[in-house]
C-alpha cells in the first residue's frame, strides 16, 4: 500500500507538472500568434487607409476645387466622382471616401461618395470632436497622422491627405475611412481560430500526461519508459498531423499540401540514406513547415489572381511567423527549422535570411525539393497540376541554384522509378512555365 500510495503521489505530481507546462506552452503560442496577427492587421489597415487617401488626393486637380465650389459641377466633376466611387467600391473595408475643403467654419464638401447620406457640393459639415486637436494643422494644410475615432459616423480609422493646386498650396483634403467594426469582427475570428488551435494542443498534452501517469502505474519504470516513448512519438505525430490539417484548412488552394510534402520529405530522406528515427523526425518537421500561414490574412493567402509585391511580402513572412510560433517548443526543438528555412536557396537568393547551400539546415534542403514538386504537381482551383515530366525537368534545372544538388539527384532517382507519379497520372497535365519556383508556391 505504501509503494502504491507513493506511486500515486508521483503520478499526480508528474501530471500537474505536465499540464502546467502544456498551459504555459499553449499560452505562449496563442499570445505570440495573436500579437503577430494584431500587429500585422494594424499595419495593413494603416497602410491601406493612408494609401487610398493619398491615391485619391493625387487624382484631384487642385486648381478646379474653388471653381467647383463657386460655379457648381461640370463634366470633369462627374468623371472624378465616378472614379472616387469606384475606389470606394473596390477597396476592402473602406466605408467612406470624400474630398473636403477645410476652413475655420467646418468641412466644405467637394466630393462625398457616401451611398446613403452623401453631402452635396458646397455643404458645410461640422468637425467631429475626435479631430479637434488636429484642426490647426488641417487649416495650415499639413498632412496629419491616421486617427482612430468613435463619433458621429461610427468607429473609424481615418486618414486625410492634402490636395495641392499647381502652386503647391493645399486647397482641400482627401479623406478615407475604414470601418473598425468590420476589422474588429475579422480579428475576433482569427483570435478564435488561434485559441481553438491552442485548446486542441492543450487537450492533446493533457491526454499525453494522463497516459504517462497511467503507464507508470501499470508497469515497471524501464518497461514503462520504452512503451511511453513509443506512445509519445505516435501522439506527437498525431498532434502534428492535426496541426498540419488546420494549416491546410486555412489555405483553400492547397488542401493536403503539408501531408504530401511530409510524405515526399520522408521518401527523399530514405533515398539519401537516413535512419528511421531521422526520417520520422524530418517527416514531423515537414508537416509543420507552413504553420506560419495561420497568421496570413485570408484575402492575401487565398487570393486567386496575381499577388502584388506587398501581398507577396506578406506571404513570404510566413517563414518568420512560423519560427515565432515554434521556437519555444522544447518537446521537439528541431521542429522550428523547417518552418524557418524551407524557402532558403543554395545560391543565397532565398528568404528570410538569404542562407547559402552549406548554411541551410539539411532538413530544410530536403523540404524545399518536396515543397517545390508538390506546388507544381498538385491540382489548384485555378489550374491543373503540371505534367509530371515537365515538373521533374524544372526540378533538375533548379539544381544547385534554387535547390540542393544531391537532394535533386535523389528526387530524380525516385522519379525515374515512378515513386512520385500519381496513380491517376496518364501523362497529361499543364505545361505552363513557372518562372520562379518559390514564388509560384505561394
Provide mean pLDDT across the span 274-287: 90
As a whole number of angstroms, the distance between CA 381 and CA 361 comes to 33
As a whole number of angstroms, the distance between CA 84 and CA 174 comes to 10
Is pLDDT at 280 greater than 70 in this prediction? yes
CA distances from 214 to 59, 221, 224, 239, 281 (A): 71, 12, 10, 20, 26
130-134, 207-211, 340-344: the lowest-pLDDT one: 207-211
Is pLDDT at 1 greater than 50 in this prediction? no
- pLDDT category, 375, cuts 50, 70, 90? confident
Asked whether the beta carbons of 160 and 174 are under 8 A apart, the reply is yes
pTM, two decimals, is 0.47
Output the pLDDT for position 440.
Answer: 39
Long-range contacts of 222-230 (CB under 8 A, 24+ apart): none
Q: In terms of pLDDT, which residue wins out, 321 or 107?
A: 107
Secondary structure letter of residue 142 according to DSSP:
P
Is pLDDT at 367 greater than 50 in this prediction? yes
As a whole number of angstroms, the distance between CA 277 and CA 273 comes to 12
Domains of the chain: 42-183 (3.30.450.20), 219-441 (1.10.3210.10)
- Alpha carbon 197 to its chain's center: 16
Angle between helices 257-271 and 362-376 (to 10 degrees): 130
Is pLDDT at 242 greater than 70 in this prediction? no
Closest Cα to residue 264, out of 190, 357, 338? Answer: 338
Biggest CA pair distance of the chain: 100
Phi, psi of 226 (to 5 degrees): -65, -50
pLDDT tens track for 128-159: 888 888 899 999 999 889 888 887 777 888 99
- pLDDT category, 226, cuts 50, 70, 90? low
Is pLDDT at 371 greater than 70 in this prediction? yes
Output the pLDDT for position 442.
Answer: 37
- pLDDT category, 435, cuts 50, 70, 90? very low
Asked whether the beta carbons of 329 and 25 are under 8 A apart, the reply is yes
Output the pLDDT for position 434.
Answer: 53
The percent of residues above 70 in pLDDT, for the chain, comes to: 76
- Alpha carbon 217 to its chain's center: 44
Output the pLDDT for position 234.
Answer: 64
Beta strands in 180-333 (DSSP E): none
Is pLDDT at 170 greater than 70 in this prediction? yes
**All three cell numbers of 32:** 505570440
Amino acid at each position: 500500500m505504501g509503494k502504491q500510495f507513493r506511486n500515486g503521489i508521483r503520478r499526480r505530481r508528474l501530471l500537474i507538472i505536465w499540464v502546467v507546462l502544456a498551459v504555459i506552452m499553449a499560452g505562449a503560442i496563442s499570445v505570440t500568434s495573436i500579437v503577430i496577427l494584431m500587429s500585422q492587421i494594424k499595419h495593413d489597415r494603416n497602410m491601406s487607409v493612408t494609401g487610398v487617401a493619398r491615391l485619391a488626393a493625387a487624382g484631384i486637380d487642385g486648381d478646379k476645387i474653388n471653381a467647383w465650389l463657386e460655379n457648381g459641377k461640370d463634366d470633369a466633376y462627374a468623371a472624378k466622382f465616378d472614379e472616387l466611387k469606384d475606389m470606394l467600391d473596390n477597396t476592402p473595408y473602406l466605408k467612406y471616401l470624400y474630398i473636403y475643403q477645410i476652413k475655420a467654419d467646418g468641412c466644405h464638401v467637394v466630393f462625398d461618395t457616401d451611398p446613403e447620406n452623401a453631402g452635396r457640393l458646397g455643404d458645410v459639415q461640422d468637425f467631429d470632436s475626435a479631430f479637434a486637436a488636429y484642426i490647426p494643422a488641417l487649416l495650415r494644410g499639413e498632412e496629419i497622422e491616421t486617427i482612430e475615432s468613435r463619433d458621429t459616423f461610427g468607429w473609424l480609422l481615418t486618414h486625410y491627405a492634402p490636395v495641392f493646386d499647381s502652386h503647391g498650396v493645399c486647397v482641400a483634403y482627401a479623406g478615407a475611412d475604414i470601418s473598425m467594426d468590420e476589422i474588429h469582427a475579422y480579428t475576433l475570428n482569427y483570435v478564435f481560430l488561434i485559441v481553438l488551435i491552442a485548446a486542441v494542443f492543450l487537450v492533446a498534452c493533457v491526454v499525453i500526461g494522463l497516459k504517462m501517469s497511467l503507464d507508470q502505474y501499470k508497469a515497471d519504470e524501464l518497461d514503462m519508459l520504452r512503451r511511453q516513448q513509443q506512445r509519445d512519438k505516435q501522439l506527437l505525430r498525431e498532434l502534428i498531423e492535426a496541426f498540419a490539417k488546420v494549416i491546410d484548412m486555412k489555405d483553400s488552394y492547397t488542401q493536403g499540401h503539408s501531408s504530401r510534402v511530409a510524405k515526399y520529405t520522408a521518401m527523399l530522406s530514405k533515398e539519401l540514406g537516413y535512419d528511421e528515427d531521422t526520417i520520422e523526425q524530418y517527416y514531423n518537421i515537414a508537416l509543420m513547415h507552413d504553420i506560419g500561414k495561420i497568421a496570413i490574412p485570408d484575402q492575401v493567402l487565398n487570393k486567386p489572381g496575381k499577388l502584388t509585391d506587398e501581398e507577396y511580402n506578406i506571404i513570404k513572412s510566413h517563414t518568420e511567423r512560423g519560427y515565432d510560433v515554434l521556437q519555444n517548443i522544447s518537446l521537439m526543438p528541431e521542429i522550428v527549422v523547417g518552418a524557418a528555412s524551407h524557402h532558403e536557396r543554395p545560391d543565397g537568393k532565398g528568404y528570410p535570411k538569404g542562407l547559402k547551400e552549406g548554411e541551410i539546415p539539411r532538413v530544410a534542403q530536403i523540404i524545399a525539393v518536396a515543397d517545390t514538386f508538390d506546388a507544381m504537381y498538385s491540382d489548384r482551383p485555378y489550374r491543373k497540376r503540371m505534367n509530371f515530366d515537365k515538373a521533374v525537368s524544372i526540378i533538375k534545372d533548379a539544381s544547385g541554384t534554387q535547390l540542393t544538388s544531391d537532394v535533386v539527384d535523389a528526387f530524380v532517382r525516385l522519379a525515374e522509378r515512378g515513386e512520385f507519379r500519381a496513380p491517376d497520372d496518364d501523362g497529361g497535365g499543364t505545361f505552363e512555365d513557372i518562372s520562379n519556383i518559390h514564388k509560384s508556391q505561394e
